[in-house]
Amino acid sequence: MLNKFKTLNVLPRWIIVMIDLTIFSLSALVAYLLRLNFQVDQLYEFDFLRGITVYTVAGLMASLITRSFAGIIRYTGIQDTLRVLYANLTTLFIVFTINYLSENTFPYSIALIAFLVSLVISISYRLLVKELFAFYRTVPKAQKRVLIFGAGRSGMITKQLIDNDTKQNVKVVGFLEDNARKIGNVMAGVKIHSAVNDFEKLILKHSPSELIIATSNMTIERKNEVVDRCLEFGIKVSTVPSTDKWIGGEFDINQIQEVKIEDLLGRNTIQLKNKFIAQELNNKCVLITGAAGSIGSEIVRQVIGYNPAKVILLDQSETGLFEIENEIRAIKKLDDRLVSYVADVSNASRVRDCFATYKPNIVFHAAAYKHVPMMENNVAEAVNCNIIGTKNLADHSVEFEVDKFVMISTDKAVNPTSVMGATKRMAEVYVQSLNEFLREIDSGATKFITTRFGNVLGSNGSVIPIFKRQIQNGGPITVTHPDITRYFMTIPEACSLVLEAETMGKGGEIFVFDMGRSVKIVDLAKRMIQLSGLEEGRDIEIVFTGLRPGEKLYEELLDDAENNLATHHPKIMIAQTRRVEFSTIKSTTDSLLDILATRDLDQEHALVRTLKGILVEYKSKASKFETLD
């Protein structure tokens, strides 16, 4: 109630006028009663109803003339008080005039008493409202109560920062812990409770509005359990970043952020063999294509940590390159060791110039078109970038004796149902067949390696940013099918495994990453609605729109005919894929180049028909190319 009063908007002027008219009427009535010593039976002898009406109408005319209603009551000052005085004096003048012209319609004595009563009440109520607003604005906000999960260093610092924050009225009412040795102790004057046994007791006792997760030792599974419990009780969940992300090694209270869906879909920390990665990248020239994209830019961030001699950022987006270069230079002094190179990978001469100029030792090829429905309608561009671009890079890698070439592929290349998936599978086949061909003729030192994984959280155009925008806009959230599922992996995790696979690769492998369990997209949408503090069906709707052209109901990491082999890393396997002779794949890519050069009206179908001729597993789905199967 108090908060509503404190935040009340300015009253409409017509309401102020109505209040003033009520005061005029009541003042006239009080004046009659005072003049008659409260002898009510004499009121009708003086025709008091007529007199009150005259005084009220006069008050209305005076208010309009003096605009006594124009001021904001809560800010009443001298000018507003004078306007009220002028309004009452004008009312008295109008009544006197009427009384003079109509032979004592309103006795002068009653008019004077009404004037004094009206003046006192009009000024007093304005000053009273002003004082009430001033008083209620000084009343402190209800204290916000929070729980902190984690009674370690991060939890302790979080508690201290909350206590020292004078801008917020927040009280930490308890620590929660899974570590039995800490439970029952007191830290910074606050008791440490069992997160399992004491959670509901604390909720009932303190009614906290927020829980802050201040530990980096919590598994994803446990974090999901904690978030689910909090959502049951309508408690907001926030998280403290890990110590390696503290600004300048220090934690600021503004770094506490609401828990995001990405925090609940990621997996537990991956253990990398950083020593071997460092040996591979130290003092090497590294070329990264698609460097401005989601995956490419993260590879850049991770590669620069291993002391490369030079890093070449290749992308066709000059704005994207500008942004990633500025970001990297802000955190690491690289001088001329960082080079931005604007190029389209399908432009063979431009790509060759890059190799000839910088002679890279290692290539990470992340440049690709990846939007499934869009590529169904832009077949030539998908073939040109994903296949011809890969061919250009691979061929020049051989020419300039690159040590290792690592291609980033996708789970959509497995049993492809779309143009995008088919072009990525064709790129996989090209580099794998080229690797085998080089081995057979004992020529060249380049090792070709492919990495294959599913969707990454938060990448450009992925489902999570789309859902976030839809929630912010009030919905609906659009899901293509109630049963559609996808694998998810964080971008840093995926890129870490790419670097690990690079160290493991001997040439010719397709490394498949363990993506964990698949996630139903509709469940993901519901969870995001919950985390936004909304309720599905009441606040926001989920609408099913139907599968889009080329879209799968579920993704696969291995073909039905493929098997996988274990590696020393538990998250990385090797797919045993069908082999294609390099002469066959070269002939097919030559055919694709010829078709691209024709610009025939039937070009799209000719390209897809050629792809289906070599990729027997490519079966279009919900697409205009189904007739070619």
Q: Which tokens hold the place of 590?
A: 């030559």
Task: Give the mean pLDDT of 203-228.
Answer: 85
Confidence bin at 87 (pLDDT 50/70/90): confident
Per-residue burial over 145-181, b if 16 or more Cβ lie within 10 Å, else e, is: bbbbbbbbebbbbbbebbeeeeeeebebbbbbbbeee
Cα-based distances in Å from 515 to 180, 255, 457:
32, 29, 12
> What confidence tens digit (pLDDT) does each residue in 203-214 have?
888 888 888 888
Find the length of the chain.
Answer: 629
Task: Answer whether 144-259 and 278-459+488-517+556-614 agree in fold.
Answer: yes
Of 223, 284, 412, 552, catalytic? 412
Q: Which of 424, 383, 429 is nearest to 585 (CA)?
A: 429
- Distance between the two ends of the chain, CA-based, in angstroms? 68
DSSP readout, 418-451?
Answer: SHHHHHHHHHHHHHHHHHHHHHHTT----EEEEE
pLDDT over 50 (residue 6):
no
Q: Which of 33, 26, 81, 83 is nearest to 56 (CA)?
A: 26
Rounded (5°) CA angle 185-188-190: 55
pLDDT over 70 (residue 233):
yes
Position 100: which residue type? Y
Check if the beta carbon of residue 223 is closer than 8 Å to that of residue 215: no
Percent of the chain residues past pLDDT 70, beyond the cut: 86
Q: Which of 168, 161, 148 is nearest to 230 (CA)?
A: 148
How much is the pLDDT for 5? 42
pLDDT over 60 (residue 411):
yes
Q: Which tokens hold the place of 294?
A: 């989601």
Cα 25 to the center of its chain, rounded Å: 58
CATH 3.40.50.720: does it fit domain 278-459+488-517+556-614? yes
Residue 627: how many CB atoms within 10 A of its CB? 8
Alpha carbon distance 348, 385 (integer Å):
11
Task: Give the mean pLDDT of 501-512.
Answer: 86
191 noted as active-site residue: no
Options 3.40.190.10, 3.40.50.720, 3.50.30.40, 3.30.420.40; CATH of 144-259: 3.40.50.720
> What confidence tens digit (pLDDT) does each residue in 578-605 have?
788 989 999 999 999 999 998 777 889 9
How much is the pLDDT for 611? 94
Average pLDDT, the chain: 82
Identify each DSSP E strand in 299-440 by its residue range: 310-315, 338-342, 362-365, 404-410
Which residue would you say has higher pLDDT here, 204 or 352? 352
Task: Give the mean pLDDT of 169-185.
Answer: 88
Question: Which residues sit opposite 239 in a β-bridge?
Answer: 213, 257
> What confidence tens digit (pLDDT) does each residue in 269-302 have?
555 556 788 888 999 999 999 999 989 999 999 9
Confidence bin at 459 (pLDDT 50/70/90): low
Where helices occur in 139-293 by DSSP H, the ranges are 153-164, 199-206, 220-232, 261-265, 274-281
Sequence-distant (≥ 6) Cβ neighbours of residue 559 within 8 angstroms: 414, 415, 575, 577, 578, 617
Task: Give the mean pLDDT of 377-388.
Answer: 95
Q: Where are the domains of the chain?
A: 2-138, 144-259, 278-459+488-517+556-614
Q: Which tokens hold the place of 121?
A: 């009440």
Confidence bin at 437 (pLDDT 50/70/90): very high
How much is the pLDDT for 142? 58
Report which listed range, 61-65, 162-166, 312-316, is most confident: 312-316
Task: Give the mean pLDDT of 380-387.
Answer: 96
Task: Give the mean pLDDT of 242-266.
Answer: 62
Residue 518: how many CB atoms within 10 A of its CB? 17
Alpha carbon distance 406, 510 (integer Å):
10
Per-residue burial over 297-325, b if 16 or more Cβ lie within 10 Å, else e, is: bbbbbbbbebebebbbbbbbeeebbeebb
pLDDT over 70 (residue 187):
yes
What is the dihedral sign for C-alpha 198, 199, 200, 206? positive
Q: Which of 210, 198, 203, 131 is nearest to 169 (CA)?
A: 210
Q: Which of 382, 384, 362 is nearest to 300 (CA)?
A: 362
Confidence bin at 7 (pLDDT 50/70/90): very low
